[in-house]
Amino acid sequence: MSVRTEVTGAKRVVVKVGSSSLTTAAGGIDPGRVRELVDVLAKLRTGGAEVVLVSSGAIAAGLAPLGLKRRPRGLPAQQAAASVGQGLLVHRYTEELARHGVIAGQVLLTVDDVTRRSHYRNAYQTFAKLLELGVLPIVNENDTVATSEIRFGDNDRLAALVAHLVHADLLVLLSDVEGLYDADPEHPDSSLLPEVMSVDDLSDVRIGKSGSAGVGTGGMQTKVDAARIATGAGIPVVLTSADRAGAALAGERVGTLFHPTGRRRPTRLLWLAHATEPKGTLVLDAGAVKAVVERRASLLAAGITGVEGTFHAGEPVDLAAPDGTPVARGIVNFDAEEIPALLGRSSHELKRELGAEYEREVVHRDDLVLL
Ligand SMILES: Nc1ncnc2c1ncn2[C@@H]1O[C@H](COP(=O)(O)OP(=O)(O)O)[C@@H](O)[C@H]1O
Ligand SMILES: N[C@@H](CCC(=O)OP(=O)(O)O)C(=O)O
């Protein structure tokens, strides 16, 4: 059977592996599984591809040293476990990669690193340099400092955003299941979907709960969400089990291939569309809705009739039509409490009365996505 050229032709590949594929049944990192994965990644590298690994498992790796039996519920305990486990995890990878003469680098990311423009550029440059130096970057969320409000929450979504950030040609999601099934694979009648061409192919798929609730956080839903983010940005995705990583990366038709459905967009906008919780709402008049939706214009204070919620400049807010239906999401340039004084007034008036600082758009067109 022919190989998948989306896979064999990829020059830069992001591989994401979940906690369930790295841990033993009793919890804790399974050195044998890390070794098998590293052997596959090293082979991919030798074949000429650049590889970025997004690895979960910090929390799982920290459980045993702390005498914990299962993933703790509270955030501080998870952060402590991640703090203990992340070093151990990367140590394992470093040792295994060294057997192949490959240097490992650790990259811990927070949400800000892909949403704030200056951080984003910085993160991009770091990855570019690491890859140029032949290093294999190992990425995880910076769990120890992430709070519940500011976190990716799951590494599937993080992997999709990293794939976009590094301009990857392919994203491979490795789990403990062979691929995406049309129903929970526990169900005897469920069958594997070898290809997903568009979101329409997902409408009948039933997604059950995570099979590894003890260690992972993602479950199948977050993998499908991640695949949608990546394919919507033009990046094909292969979803399969860690056991089949070698076959999948050789282009064999294992697991599920999600075909690209869209084109590249700035990462901040991907994040805004797929991964944010709005902190408030700006209610627009009909003219402003038209300007934003049809003419893709920036939102000016003159078109705003109301403000809901508490937010600060730089945070995501929804832009709603007069009936309250959200039509777009954007990064706002003012704090919520500053906006009432600006409502319905022209930029010119604002500049004259409040100073040049207040002349700017409330949401710039470059920081807006339509919903
Ligand atoms: N429709 C489905 N197709 C595939 N797997 C599914 C589906 N619905 C639920 N699952 C479950 O999702 C699990 C994968 O999620 P999880 O264990 O959280 O993975 P990871 O730790 O790799 O992120 C599978 O083991 C499977 O039991
Ligand atoms: N950052 C966390 C992983 C969170 C996560 O998404 O886990 P998983 O569902 O196993 O991919 C950790 O390293 O433990």
Give me the residue spans of the domains in the chain. Answer: 5-271, 276-370
The alpha carbon of residue 368 and the mean position of all alpha carbons in its chain are separated, in whole angstroms, by: 18
How many angstroms separate the CA atoms of 311 and 277, rounded? 11
The alpha carbon of residue 118 and the mean position of all alpha carbons in its chain are separated, in whole angstroms, by: 18
How many angstroms separate the CA atoms of 76 and 41, rounded? 33
DSSP lists the bridge partners of residue 257 as: 195, 238
Ligand 1 atom with least separation from CA of 206: 1
Residues near ligand 1 with C-beta < 6 Å? 18-21, 175-177, 180-181, 183-185, 205, 207-208, 210-212, 216, 218-220
The ligand whose atoms approach the alpha carbon of 174 most closely is 1
78 CA → ligand 2 middle, Å:
11
Residue ranges for the chain with pLDDT beneath 70: 25, 27, 115-118, 147-150, 153, 209-218, 275
Residues near ligand 2 with C-beta < 6 Å? 18-20, 56-60, 82, 140-141, 143, 154-155, 216-218
Q: Which of 194, 174, 196, 164 is nearest to 249 (CA)?
A: 174
What does the pLDDT read at residue 213?
A: 47
Q: Which fold has domain 276-370?
A: 2.30.130
153 CA → ligand 2 middle, Å:
8
| Architecture of the domain spanning 5-271 | 3-Layer(aba) Sandwich (3.40)
Please give the model's pTM, rounded to 2 decimal places.
0.84
What does the pLDDT read at residue 275?
A: 66
**Which residue positions form the known binding site for ATP?**
16, 175-176, 217-223
215 CA → ligand 2 middle, Å:
8
How many angstroms separate the CA atoms of 362 and 371, rounded? 18
